[in-house]
């Protein structure tokens, strides 16, 4: 019995020894293994890029009611133009009907305004317009060079566009001011902002005195503006710039013309001009702190307005008749321009982020008998061909402003923003002109696409447009064809 217990004891001790050794081996093995590497820390999440626009404003007090606001912008054009028949290049070669290219500065501007009291405001706006390789600069910067086109595109002169002061008589309802100003009459387009066009540019005839009796759509004058309920108004009494030729009865400024076929031109006049524009805001109200009407709000507002306006200056134009024996052989004409318009800019469905834009404008212009002006924006080839090939002149010139009627329509649709935050807005425009001096009316079209990279602050616009070609013959000045132009614009403003 004792031997059996001894044997069991020995076996038990041996089993405990084996178990202890194995446990020790397991501990040693576990200790020999390296500790698992800690899980990598999660990469910090990158903040979303902020593309929002924050106005360049210097606050003069904590609330921001006293401030100086800065705005600057550039509009650069790259264009291909089909030249009018008979156009000549800089070396005198005929390029009529051919396409030529250009890269130019349509606008480069800087504007600042300030209010340190709600009782008054001051604004200054300067810059340049229409500088290309061949025009827009000061003349002949190279000593000894007298060629007509040499260096005419260099070193443009920066000049004042707006400079005016304003006082609040009844804040919001009645403000009066004066200076070189843009509180224009006739139509919405006549005071359109250049920062937020729905189209590539304005149709130009909306500025009916452009570079004639105004300084780039501005005149010196005093104005009153404000809003009463839903009614927005602006009126001004201006002193137009002297432009044209002398209207002295015995002077030589006006060329004598055959009786019955006289053509009015701008003549020297010291008469003031009166203008105004009133529009009724059916839905959302628009701001009128500044004179610049918005082209499209891109769905941020629901706007529908109807408006009407006028411009009038006595003895603004005249003509001289051949064979008149009286001392006063000059007939002077009053200038009267009337306009009515309808403007719609709204999202089609709340929260969708789209926008439809419609503008309809009608002008009745009376500058006097047969008055007309031919204009070409950034015209590279202004050498005048024979009237039998292109009556309006060379390059891209066309009958733009004159006694008669103009109807203009623009329609565009902005699609909702895509995942990148971009927005695209195709549009079309139609213009019908019927001038007294021309035998035929004209209808012209444009189609374009806006790519809003960051709203109106950064956008690229491409547009194709056509224009009429007129020739002079036995049947008068008749429409003989059309020519085209394709333009891409880079637009950025801060």
Which of 79, 72, 139 has its CA nearest to residue 104?
Answer: 79
Mean pLDDT of 41-70: 86
In a domain, 119, yes or no: yes
Three-class secondary structure assignment of 114-154: EEEECCEEEEEEEEEEEECCCCCCCCCCCCCCCCCCCCCCC
pLDDT greater at residue 160 or residue 45 = 160
In a domain, 28, yes or no: no
pLDDT digits (tens, 9 = 90+) for 85-104: 999 999 999 999 999 999 99
Mean pLDDT of 125-142: 83
In a domain, 363, yes or no: yes
pLDDT interval class at 51 (50, 70, 90):
confident
The answer to whether 253 and 242 are in contact (CB under 8 A) is: no
In a domain, 18, yes or no: no
In a domain, 29, yes or no: no
The answer to whether 100 and 381 are in contact (CB under 8 A) is: yes
Strand partners, 447: 428, 464
- 478: Cα separation from own chain's centroid: 32
pLDDT interval class at 141 (50, 70, 90):
very low
In a domain, 38, yes or no: no
Give the pLDDT confidence score for residue 352 in this predicted structure: 85
pLDDT interval class at 43 (50, 70, 90):
low
Which of 193, 153, 160 has its CA nearest to residue 179?
Answer: 160
Give the pLDDT confidence score for residue 152 in this predicted structure: 82
Read off the tokens for 357. Answer: 């834009």
The answer to whether 153 and 168 are in contact (CB under 8 A) is: no
Strand partners, 492: 74, 458
Q: How many domains does the chain have?
A: 1
CATH of the domain at 360: 2.40.160.10
Mean predicted lDDT score pLDDT of the chain: 90
pLDDT over threshold 50, residue 146: no
Q: What are the CA-CA distances from residue 257 to residues 280, 325, 396 (Å)?
A: 45, 13, 28
DSSP tag of 8: H
**Dihedral in degrees, nearest 10, Cα atoms 75, 81, 86, 92:** 70
Its pTM stands at 0.89
Give the pLDDT confidence score for residue 177 in this predicted structure: 98
pLDDT over threshold 50, residue 3: no
- Which residues form the domain of 447? 54-493
In a domain, 20, yes or no: no
pLDDT over threshold 70, residue 127: yes
pLDDT digits (tens, 9 = 90+) for 396-440: 999 999 999 999 999 999 999 999 999 999 999 999 999 999 999
Mean pLDDT of 65-83: 97
Read off the tokens for 436. Answer: 């007294």
In a domain, 42, yes or no: no
The answer to whether 267 and 315 are in contact (CB under 8 A) is: yes
pLDDT interval class at 18 (50, 70, 90):
very low
pLDDT greater at residue 295 or residue 5 = 295
Q: Is the dihedral of CA 389, 393, 398, 400 positive or negative?
A: negative
pLDDT digits (tens, 9 = 90+) for 262-308: 999 999 999 999 999 999 999 999 999 999 999 999 999 999 999 99
């Amino acid at each position: 019995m004792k031997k059996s217990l001894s044997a069991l004891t020995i076996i038990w001790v041996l089993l405990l020894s084996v178990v202890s050794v194995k446990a020790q081996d397991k501990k040693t093995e576990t200790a020999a293994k390296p500790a698992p590497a800690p899980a990598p820390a999660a990469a910090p999440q990158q903040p979303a890029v902020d593309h929002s626009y924050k106005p360049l404003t210097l606050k003069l007090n904590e609330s921001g009611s006293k401030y100086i606001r800065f705005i600057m912008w550039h509009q650069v054009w790259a264009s291909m133009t089909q030249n009018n028949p008979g156009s000549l290049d800089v070396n005198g070669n005929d390029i009529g009907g051919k396409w030529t290219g250009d890269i130019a500065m349509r606008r480069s501007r800087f504007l600042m305004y300030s209010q340190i009291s709600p009782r008054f405001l001051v604004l200054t706006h300067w810059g340049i317009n229409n500088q290309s390789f061949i025009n827009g600069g000061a003349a002949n910067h190279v000593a000894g060079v007298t060629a007509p086109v040499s260096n005419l595109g260099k070193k443009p002169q920066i000049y004042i566009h707006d400079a005016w002061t304003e006082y609040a008589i009844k804040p919001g309802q009645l403000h009066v001011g004066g200076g070189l100003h843009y509180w224009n009459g006739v139509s919405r387009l006549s005071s359109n902002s250049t920062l937020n066009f729905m189209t590539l540019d304005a149709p130009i005839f909306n500025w009916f005195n452009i570079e004639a009796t105004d300084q780039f759509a501005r005149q010196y004058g005093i104005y009153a503006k404000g809003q009463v309920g839903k009614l927005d108004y602006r009126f001004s009494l201006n002193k137009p710039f002297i432009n044209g030729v002398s209207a002295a009865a015995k002077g030589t400024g006006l060329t004598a013309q055959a009786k019955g076929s006289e053509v009015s031109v701008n003549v020297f006049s010291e008469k003031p001009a009166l203008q105004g524009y009133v529009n009724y805001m059916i839905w959302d109200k628009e701001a009128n702190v500044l004179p610049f009407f918005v082209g499209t709000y891109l769905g941020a507002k629901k706007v529908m307005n109807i408006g009407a306006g006028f411009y009038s200056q006595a003895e603004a134009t005249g003509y001289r008749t051949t064979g008149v024996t009286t001392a006063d052989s000059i007939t002077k004409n009053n200038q009267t321009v009337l306009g009515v318009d309808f403007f719609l800019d709204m999202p089609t469905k709340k929260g969708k982020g789209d926008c439809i834009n419609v503008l309809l404008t009608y002008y009745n212009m009376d500058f006097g008998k047969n008055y007309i002006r031919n204009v070409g924006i950034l015209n590279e080839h202004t050498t005048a061909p024979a009237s039998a090939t292109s009556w309006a002149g060379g390059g891209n010139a066309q009958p733009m402003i004159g006694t008669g009627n103009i109807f203009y329509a623009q329609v565009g649709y902005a699609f909702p923003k895509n995942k990148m935050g971009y927005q695209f807005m195709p549009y079309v425009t139609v213009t019908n002109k019927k001038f007294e001096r021309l035998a035929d009316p004209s209808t012209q079209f444009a189609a374009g696409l806006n790519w809003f990279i960051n709203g109106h602050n950064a956008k690229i616009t491409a547009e194709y447009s056509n224009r009429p070609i007129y020739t002079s013959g036995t049947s008068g000045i008749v429409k003989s064809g059309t020519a085209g132009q394709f333009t891409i614009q880079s637009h950025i403003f801060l």
